[in-house]
Amino acid sequence: MFRRRAAWAAVGTVALLLAGTPAANAVEGQAPDVRWAHSVSDDLGTLAVGISSDSALTEIKAHIVSYATDQEVAVVENDAFTLVSGTPDDGVWHTKQPLNLADLGSYSVRVEATDDDGDRTIDNSAGDLVYYVTPVFEDVRTDRTEVDFDHRQVRVDGILKGRWPATRELKPLADHRVDLDVDYWTEATVRTDAEGRFSGTVTVNDAVPVQAVYRYDKPYVLYGDAAPIHIGVRQVATRWTVQAPAEAQTIDLGQQVTLTATLERETSQGWLPFEGQSGGVLFEPSAAGNQFETVGYFTTGEDGKVTFAHAPWQTGSFHVASHSDDPFIASASANSAQITVLRASVFTSFSAARTQSNGVHVEGAMDFPDGWTPATIPVHIQYSRNGKQWTDVLTAEAYWSGSGYAFSADIPDVESGYFRAHFKATDAFRAATSETVKVRG
């Protein structure tokens, strides 16, 4: 009896194993995941659904429910969908044809999905169908692409149509409001006629885009806009004419120079004085790195002229410039002729005397009364037999001595005659010549 029971027990164990005891790592089938459902953005009558699952989808069914009545208005069966991207187990499906609903409006989409394993999902809030008319602008144009000082009005014409979601048909949108925007701000609003045509005028005060925009004027028509049209600005040409100083000149430090200049604008009658324009005058240095000098500011009068007197402390030229906040008026500038500014240099003493070795010893001192001094001070000792024709015999450098810039030199074996010291002019200093001293042999 025991053996028989043991045998039956063994058979039972084998049967249990053959029956398939669930393995520890076995995974049950997963239901499809309805990720979303909504209208195709550029084709509002087409429904798009995104679904993923652990096996290929075999059935998709969408229920279209009105938000207004909470009533089901349409059922989209499986054969109405086609896979447009992804794979059968993870993809995006579109309806092959736009949905044909009785009324425009917003609808809730409830989706049923079944996969190849027989797993099924019902999502009662998968997404929304926006069953609206899409506005479409056609033949939007302006009567000008450029405005100028005297002509700032721009007319905008175009046609507003709507794409119906059920048929994709374009129809004129009659009696709809169209905003005419300038630089993305509404400047005028017009309404379409029976054929969807509109026309209006805006004022353009800068180089900006002009655009026709539809903003939810009627129920169930979405926002829409036309491509912006860029309007340029043709500026009024202006110019400066400098009357003085018209030619280059040299002045002493501290001496005033008067600038006179006239601003003109181009007109159909030619160049005329330009009144009421603002600007300023600088004195710009010729040497690189030097700072400019502010001369003054102005607003032009009826004759367009400006006049300034200025005592520059460096070599350079006047720079006159005008600038308007009005983008229709071009800026203009001009420079005067160069003004060379020289500082004074003087000899305060000079002597020449015969030495025991038959040479001549010279010495003296210089001063620069304007408070500026050259980096180096070369003093040329000059000789003349008759006091009229001079020759450089040597160059000595002057150095600060506590009371002036002193120099001295010895000239060997020189005949009797006249001697003097000379400092040659530089870019910043005038020339100077000492008194003449006669030395006998």
Contact 162, 221 (CB under 8 A): yes
pLDDT tens, 202-247?
999 999 999 999 999 999 999 999 999 999 999 999 999 999 998 9
Q: How high is the pLDDT of residue 57? A: 95
From the list 437, 374, 370, the residue with the least C-alpha distance to 405 is 374
Q: Which two tokens stand for residue 30?
A: 């997963």
pLDDT tens over the chain, length 441 residues:
323 333 223 323 322 222 333 333 334 568 999 999 999 999 999 999 999 999 999 999 999 999 999 999 999 999 999 999 999 999 999 999 999 999 999 999 999 999 999 999 999 999 999 999 999 999 999 999 999 988 999 999 999 999 999 999 999 999 999 999 999 999 999 999 999 999 999 999 999 999 999 999 999 999 999 999 999 999 999 999 999 998 999 999 999 999 999 999 999 899 999 999 999 999 999 988 889 999 999 999 999 999 999 999 999 999 999 999 899 999 999 999 999 999 999 999 999 999 988 899 999 999 999 989 999 999 999 999 999 999 999 999 999 998 899 999 999 988 999 999 999 999 899 999 999 999 997
Q: Are strands 339-342 and 249-252 parallel, antiparallel or unpaired?
A: parallel
Task: Assign 3-class secondary structure to 314-340.
Answer: CCEEEEEEECCCCCCECCEEEECCCEE
Q: How high is the pLDDT of residue 56? A: 95
Contact 152, 235 (CB under 8 A): no
DSSP label at residue 78: G
Dihedral sign for Cα atoms in the order 133, 138, 143, 144: positive
What are the backbone angles phi and psi of residue 15, rounded to the nearest 5°? -60, -40
Q: How high is the pLDDT of residue 28? A: 54
Tell me the C-alpha distance between 416 and 153, whole Å. Answer: 90
Angle at 227 between CA 225 and CA 230, to 5 degrees: 130
Tell me the C-alpha distance between 313 and 124, whole Å. Answer: 87
**Integer distance in angstroms from the first to the last C-alpha of the chain?**
167
Tell me the C-alpha distance between 352 and 360, whole Å. Answer: 6
Q: How high is the pLDDT of residue 24? A: 35
Tell me the C-alpha distance between 194 and 184, whole Å. Answer: 27
Q: Provide the whole-model pTM.
A: 0.66
